[in-house]
Structure 1
């Protein structure tokens, strides 16, 4: 069953201005996320505003897509906030900004205490793998997530 993830941050706070996910940021990516029984992903329509070379999505934007999808996987799976410790990226093929929607997938590789490792992949509109990411993330406790970072209850995402 497909579930669209609600952006609980933007719903609670009109000042929420995350470059990756806020619907309120006029220059942001405005990412939305989806979850099925087996997959966690985002669908994003690139534009030339995010180009590096003409017609190719900038590598830094691609890294942001990989990082943001990883974070949202953690948010909606564990109900906790997290920060990126390490993010490795591999750029396999140019990612067109003009051919249509792309998909970013995230999956958990391992979790030891409060360190979680996530693999991510970007597929272009022709379903060709263009970029891969591997990240390590430090998850905060639920108490710290709520008290220090105003993290919403996990139920607010669904």
Structure 2
């Protein structure tokens, strides 16, 4: 039986390609360096432990950091489904503070695809007890075929060293 959250699985966004995304870019020394993996039963997940540099009020993780984590989780769930989309709107509800140094886990899942619109949800919980920290929903819009092609070429989609790896190489409704 597969583990629901198996850290031994390769990250779907691991790459050596130059990428400076604040949320997931491996080249950004100031970024969050999120690494997403597939979740047994669907969706994607990543762990993150906020540091002092992610602080808002004393000892608490800044809400903007949590919003970025949720947005990245939903975006990578969309990407893992073979689409390239951008966030059109997002709603986030904070359920409890996330303490600096407290390991967190985010899970992103696509809930619906219709036309160019893709809806997704994300949850951020504590790793230790599964306490709900925040939950989000968003609508993504598939980018144009020209934009998708440009990003695929820039990020090496279809190559062994692709940022998008097999996720986008599987194809998209844009093609």
- Aligned partners of 2:59, 2:34: CA distance in 1, in Å? 20
- Provide the residue aligned with 1:121 in structure 2: 123
- Change in Cα spacing, 1:154 to 1:111, as seen in structure 2 (3 Å) is farther
RMSD: 2.1
Q: Which runs of 5+ in 2 are unaligned?
A: 167-175
Match status 1:47 vs 2:32: no
**Which of 93, 105, 108 in structure 1 is aligned with 2:107?**
105
- Provide the residue aligned with 1:74 in structure 2: 78
- Provide the residue aligned with 2:65 in structure 1: 61
Q: TM (normalized to structure 1)?
A: 0.86
Structure having the higher strand fraction is: 1
- Provide the residue aligned with 1:37 in structure 2: 40
- Change in Cα spacing, 1:6 to 1:110, as seen in structure 2 (3 Å) is closer
How many Å apart are 1:108 and its aligned residue? Answer: 1.5
- Aligned partners of 2:21, 2:71: CA distance in 1, in Å? 13
Count of residues in correspondence between the two structures: 153
Q: Is contact 1:50–1:57 with CA below 8 Å preserved after alignment?
A: yes
**Which of 77, 96, 101 in structure 1 is aligned with 2:99?**
96
Q: TM (normalized to structure 2)?
A: 0.78
Q: Is contact 1:84–1:135 with CA below 8 Å preserved after alignment?
A: yes
